[in-house]
Structure 1
Amino acid sequence: MSKIWVELADIPAEGRVFSFEDQGFWQESLRTCVLSATIAAPLRAEVTVLPDERGALVRGTLRGSVVLPCDRCSEDCEQTVDEEFEVYEELPAEGGESAEESRVVEEDGVQRLNLGAVLWEQFVLALPPKPLCREDCKGLCPRCGGNRNFQECDCAEGGNDPRLSVFRNLKIS
Structure 2
Amino acid sequence: MAEHWLDITDIPAEGREFSFDEKEFWADKWAEFQMGYEALTPMSATFTVQPQQRGALVRGRLSGEVSTPCDRCLKDVSVSIDQPFDLFEQLESPDEESVEPGLLREHKGRLELDAGAMLWEEFVLALPTKPLCSEDCKGLCPTCGKDLNEGPCGCAKSEGDERMAALRGLTIAKKD
Is 2:73 aligned against 1:43?
no
- What is the CA distance between 1:145 and its match in structure 2? 1.4
Instruction: Give the 5 Å matches for 1:20-99.
Output: 20-93=20-93, 94-97=95-98
Structure 1 segments unaligned to the other structure (5+ residues):
none
- State the Cα distance separating 1:39 from its structure 2 match: 1.0
Question: Unaligned 5+ residue runs, structure 2?
Answer: none
Q: Deviations over 1:87-134 (max 9, x none)?
A: 111112533316x72111123442211011100000111111100011
Q: How much does 1:24 deviate?
A: 1.3
* Cα distance in 1 between the residues matched to 2:163 and 2:145: 23
Name the Cα RMSD after superposition.
Answer: 2.1
User: Cα distance, 1:38 vs. partner?
Assistant: 1.1
Greater shift, 67-76 or 2-11, is seen at 2-11
Overall identity of the aligned pairs, in %: 44
Q: Alpha carbons of 1:136 and 1:29: their partners in 2 closer, same or farther (altered >3 Å)? A: same
Amino acid at match of 2:124: V
Name the structure 2 match of 1:152: 152
In 2: Cα distance, 1:22 partner to 1:8 partner: 19
Which residue does 2:138 correspond to in 1?
138
CA shift at 1:73, angstroms? 0.6
Give, in whole Å, the separation in 2 of the partners of 1:27 and 1:158: 41
- Over 3 Å counting, the alpha-carbon distance change for 1:14 and 1:166 in structure 2 is farther
Distance 1:159 1:97 in 2: 51
Question: How far is 1:33 from its partner?
Answer: 2.3
| Counterparts of residues 94-105 of structure 1 (less than 5 Å) | 94-97=95-98, 101-105=101-105
Q: TM-score, normalised by structure 1?
A: 0.88
How many residues are treated as equivalent by the alignment?
172
What does residue 6 of structure 1 align with? 6
Comparing 11-20 with 23-32, which one deviates more in the overlay?
23-32
Distance 2:149 2:56 in 1: 48
Deviates more, 1:24-33 or 1:76-85: 24-33
Q: Which moved more, 1:153-162 or 1:18-27?
A: 153-162
For 2:173 and 2:13, how far apart are their aligned partners in 1? 62
| Residue identity opposite 1:27 in structure 2 | A
